[in-house]
């Protein structure tokens, strides 16, 4: 099957296109990280180049987003130079029925959280496989930790009932290093009954920079699915 007819790829493109269509001229746009968000960045760039959109600037959440924005001709700015973000588009690793999220599969959750929470509208783009009844059902909670604190943080997480594991690189010897120069501990919990409190508890452990639980921040979730071999997008 060619990439052009791959229904999963087409579905991700359609979700990205639906998110990009929500961006209005004159907007400051938070540019998220991940495969589906990459298509949103592409389509924002195409709308900008065609003249359909004008006066757009982006705030990238990762080096990946920055590179893609430059590739597709989206001017960039920084949080130092702006006083608001109109809309942020980002992916997620899990979405529960209350639109709470686990993010951080790409190890960019700290910068994503800063940008996504600042946005007046936060749009999440996912495929249907990311929907769960309860957070933590499938994906562990990523916790970004300064390198000197990895061992005590893992010990503190174990006391909370979590099973921590240092994230190791793929095709790279050693641990994953974030854009901030830190490490990521992936934590599996038997159950996450109260995501809001767990988010705060994890962030209160000395040495933790941020974790991947996002609560009370998503405004719109665009879900891509493949039905009868055709891509469809629905919204919650």
In degrees, to the nearest 5, what angle opens at C-alpha 176 toward C-alphas 173 and 179? 130
Sheet with 208-211: strands ordered across:
163-166, 183-188, 141-145, 208-211
Distance CA 116, CA 218 (A): 8
Q: Which two tokens stand for residue 59?
A: 């705030």
CA distance 212 to 9: 25
Selection from 82, 86, 61, 213 nearest residue 139 by Cα: 213
Rounded CA gap, 30 and 45, in Å? 13
Q: Is 14 one of the annotated active-site residues of the chain? A: no
Catalytic residue among 14, 66, 94, 112: 112
Phi, psi of 109 (to 5 degrees): -65, -25
Within 13 A of 88's CA, how many CA atoms are on the CB side? 26
Catalytic positions are 112
């Amino acid at each position: 099957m060619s990439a052009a007819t791959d229904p999963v790829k087409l579905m991700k493109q359609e979700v990205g296109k639906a998110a990009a269509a929500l961006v209005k001229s004159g907007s400051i746009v938070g540019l998220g990280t991940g495969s589906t968000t990459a298509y949103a960045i592409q389509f924002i760039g195409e709308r900008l180049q065609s003249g359909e959109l004008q006066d757009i600037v982006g705030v990238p959440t990762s080096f990946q987003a920055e590179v893609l924005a430059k590739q597709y001709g989206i001017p960039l700015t920084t949080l130092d130079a702006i006083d608001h973000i109109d809309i942020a588009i980002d992916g997620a690793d899990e979405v529960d029925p209350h639109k709470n999220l686990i993010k951080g599969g790409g190890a960019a959750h700290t910068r994503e959280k800063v940008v996504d929470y600042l946005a007046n509208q936060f749009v999440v783009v996912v495929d249907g496989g990311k929907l769960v009844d309860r957070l933590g059902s499938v994906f562990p909670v990523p916790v970004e930790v300064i390198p000197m604190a990895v061992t005590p943080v893992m010990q503190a997480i174990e006391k909370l009932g979590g099973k921590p594991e240092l994230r190791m690189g793929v095709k790279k010897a050693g641990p994953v290093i974030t854009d901030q120069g830190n490490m990521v501990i992936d934590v599996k919990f038997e159950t996450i009954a109260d995501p809001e409190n767990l988010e705060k508890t994890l962030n209160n452990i000395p040495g933790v920079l941020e974790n991947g639980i996002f609560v009370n921040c998503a405004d719109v979730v665009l879900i891509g699915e493949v039905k009868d071999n055709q891509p469809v997008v629905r919204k919650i």
